[in-house]
């Protein structure tokens, strides 16, 4: 009952404020509540719009210096005490769901112990329920907010269960360790699976400087490049380009993709190396890599100033609903003098000229926000009947988190720095695929009958919601 009273009291304090004051109170109240509330803050804080107006480095602490709670360490490590020579009594880092302690094994290895917070185990179900209620009320009284808190809560609800499944995390951590074993630039700590359990993970210690520390230094007026060079002798922009490239490569050729690339999970190391230290949130790479590769190509054209709205629209549709695009292509090739996908491109080109959409579209393109442009403008209200599976949506979300994280680090040094880092990441990933290729798709092919059924169902859907496109298609057919 005391937990419920604490949350309700925090909710009243948040609601009583407005504008940036509400944002600051939300930060401090949610930070004090801990657990899933801090995880919610981490999703919001990666968004640069949410970070605007904050005056100091304390907000960046949400990524790795969350308030400690008392944990009975001896009880938590009773199953592996025989292999631990020493362990610090206080955590050196803490996250939304865990606290991290330095330790040394009897064989001399320096390790960390990641211990799931007891408060998370106890309060998670209640916290999720009350967080959902809080978010609904805040969004209701601030409907014009540029941050969609309900979407952030939806992501939290979908991913939390996986993130506290430590047995699963151990297995994915070992996969990433093997995947990057021979990579001289990416460091993944070895995980001691035999000594880990459902509440404790033991991994090799990785030092260095976290990206959240760099962001904190920037808020105090320090230059990121200078700071990292002084601390590590590394080039942070080379490291950020490398990080982006490797993220894309795992989606294009790997088995898993990191789904939570926030600043506290990335360590900058000496010799331009990068360390990855958290594997609680991962997703399977796409079964069909080709649409994702085409999307990479569209981003490359966008950063080179050579993109078109027609090709961007097709690439996004193909990424989210490859089955639909394939069926529309097949029907067009066999039965029609016009291309349904070309007609969609023509329709969208005219759509974004509308004075109500033109400003939003131009802003999204200028800031290279393809996903926002497609979801909120081109396919607003799902006008084109796109149906994506949850893992593709999570992959898009993690890609946006990576780009937002990159923006947080790069933009204080200028938009040119951000553009360089992202375009260099894209270029390297494309170059790698050009040389090595991608795995072939294992999706079953549809029959002609199935393709026609999908296309006809799509036309029915569009006819009910997008009469302008249907009229355009008809005029092409009968002229």
- Residue-level pLDDT at 203: 97
Task: Name every residue whose Cβ is closer than 8 Å to that of residue 8 and which is 6 or more positions away in sequence.
Answer: 130
Q: Which region, left, alpha or beta, applies to residue 447 given φ > 0 means left and ψ of -120 to 50 means alpha?
A: beta
Share of the chain above pLDDT 70, in %: 88
The dihedral formed by the CA atoms of 205, 174, 240 and 288, expressed in degrees to the nearest 10: -170
Reply yes or no on whether the pLDDT at 114 is more than 80: yes
Using CA atoms, how far apart are residues 114 and 92, in angstroms rounded to an integer? 11
Q: What would the two tokens of residue 382 be?
A: 């799902």
Q: Do 436 and 429 contact (CB within 8 A), yes or no?
A: no
pLDDT score recorded for residue 146: 43
Residue, of 334 and 215, whose pLDDT is higher = 215
pLDDT at residue 60 in the model: 52
| Lowest-confidence segment of 159-163, 173-177, 295-299, 333-337 by average pLDDT | 333-337
Whether the pLDDT of residue 55 is over 50: the answer is no
The mean pLDDT value for 440-448 works out to: 77
Helices and strands (H and E) in the chain: how many: 21, 11
Per-residue pLDDT tens over the stretch 243-285: 999 999 999 999 999 987 888 889 999 999 999 998 988 888 9
**Who wins on pLDDT, 78 or 338?**
78
Residue-wise pLDDT tens digits, 30-43: 877 777 777 777 76
- What's the pLDDT tens digit per position in 363-393? 888 878 888 788 888 888 888 888 877 778 7
Query: What is the rounded average pLDDT of the residues 10-34?
Result: 75
Q: Burial, 431: exposed, middle or buried (Cβ in 10 Å; 0-12, 13-18, 19+)?
A: exposed
Bridge partner list, 103: 87, 111
Q: For the residues 16-26, what does the mean pLDDT come to? A: 71
Select the more confidently predicted residue: 329 or 190. Answer: 190
What pLDDT does residue 394 have?
77
**Averaged pLDDT for residues 423-442:** 93
| pLDDT at site 49 | 53
Q: State the average pLDDT for the chain.
A: 85
Q: How confident is the model at residue 58 (pLDDT cuts 50, 70, 90)?
A: low
Q: How confident is the model at residue 287 (pLDDT cuts 50, 70, 90)?
A: confident
pLDDT single digits (tens) 138-153: 666 555 444 566 766 7
Q: Quote the CA–CA distance of 77 and 193 in Å, as a whole number.
A: 14
Q: Is the pLDDT of residue 336 over 70?
A: no
| pLDDT of 460 strictly over 80 | yes
Strand partners, 353: none
Q: Which range has highest mean pLDDT (143-152, 176-185, 402-411)?
A: 176-185
Lowest mean pLDDT among 251-260, 286-295, 395-404, 413-422: 395-404
3-state class percentages of the chain: helix first, strand second, coil last, to nearest 5: 65, 10, 25
Q: How confident is the model at residue 101 (pLDDT cuts 50, 70, 90)?
A: very high
Least confident of 149-158, 165-174, 210-219: 149-158
Quickly state the pLDDT bin for 473 (edges 50, 70, 90).
confident
Out of 35-44, 183-192, 375-384, 422-431, pick the least confident: 35-44
| Confidence bin at 207 (pLDDT 50/70/90) | very high
Query: In this predicted structure, what is the pLDDT of residue 343?
Result: 87
Question: What tokens were used for 385?
Answer: 């009947």
**pLDDT at site 169:** 94
**376: its two tokens:** 């909120």
Mean pLDDT, residues 423-445 taken together:
90
pLDDT > 90 in the chain, percent? 41
Checking if the pLDDT of 400 tops 70, the result is yes
Select the more confidently predicted residue: 29 or 316: 316
């Amino acid at each position: 009952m005391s937990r419920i009273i604490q949350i309700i009291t925090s909710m009243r304090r948040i609601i009583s404020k407005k504008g940036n004051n509400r944002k600051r109170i939300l930060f401090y109240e949610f930070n004090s509540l801990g657990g899933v509330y801090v995880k919610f803050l981490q999703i919001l804080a990666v968004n640069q719009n949410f970070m605007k107006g904050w005056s100091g480095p304390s907000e960046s602490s949400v990524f790795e210096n969350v308030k400690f709670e008392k944990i009975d360490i001896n009880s938590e490590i009773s199953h592996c005490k025989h292999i631990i020579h020493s362990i610090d009594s206080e955590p050196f880092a803490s996250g939304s769901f865990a606290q991290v302690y330095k330790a040394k094994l009897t064989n001399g290895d320096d390790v960390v112990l990641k211990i799931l917070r007891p408060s998370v185990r106890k309060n998670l179900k209640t916290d999720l329920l009350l967080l959902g209620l809080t978010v609904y009320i805040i969004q209701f009284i601030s409907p014009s907010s540029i941050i969609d808190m309900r979407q952030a809560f939806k992501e939290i609800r979908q991913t939390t269960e996986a993130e506290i499944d430590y047995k699963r995390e151990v297995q994915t951590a070992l996969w990433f360790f093997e995947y990057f074993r021979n990579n001289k630039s990416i460091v993944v700590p070895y995980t001691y699976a035999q000594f880990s359990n459902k509440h404790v993970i033991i991994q090799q210690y990785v030092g260095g400087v976290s990206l959240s520390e760099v962001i904190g230094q920037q808020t105090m007026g320090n230059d990121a490049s200078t700071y990292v060079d002084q601390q590590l002798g590394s080039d942070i922009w080379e490291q950020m380009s490398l990080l982006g490239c490797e993220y894309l490569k795992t989606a294009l050729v790997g088995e898993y993709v990191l789904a939570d690339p926030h600043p506290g999970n990335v360590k900058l190391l000496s010799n331009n190396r990068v360390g990855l230290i958290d594997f609680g949130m991962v997703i399977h790479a796409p079964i069909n890599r080709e649409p994702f590769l085409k999307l990479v190509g569209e981003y490359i054209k966008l950063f080179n100033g050579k993109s078109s709205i027609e090709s961007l629209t097709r690439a996004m549709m193909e990424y989210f609903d490859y089955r639909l695009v394939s069926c529309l292509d097949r029907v067009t090739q066999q039965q029609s003098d016009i291309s349904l996908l070309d007609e969609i491109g023509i329709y969208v080109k005219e759509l974004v000229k509308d004075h109500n959409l033109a400003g939003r579209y131009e802003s999204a393109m200028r800031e290279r926000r393809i996903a926002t442009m497609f979801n909120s403008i081109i396919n607003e209200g799902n006008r084109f009947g796109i149906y994506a599976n949850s893992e593709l949506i999570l992959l898009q979300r993690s890609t946006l988190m990576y780009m937002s994280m990159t923006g947080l680090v790069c933009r204080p040094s200028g938009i040119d720095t951000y553009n360089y880092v992202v375009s260099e990441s894209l270029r390297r990933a494309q170059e790698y695929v050009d040389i090595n290729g991608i795995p072939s798709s294992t999706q079953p092919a549809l029959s002609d009958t199935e393709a026609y059924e999908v296309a006809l169902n799509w036309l029915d859907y569009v006819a009910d919601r997008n009469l302008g496109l249907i009229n355009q298609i008809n005029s092409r057919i009968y002229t």
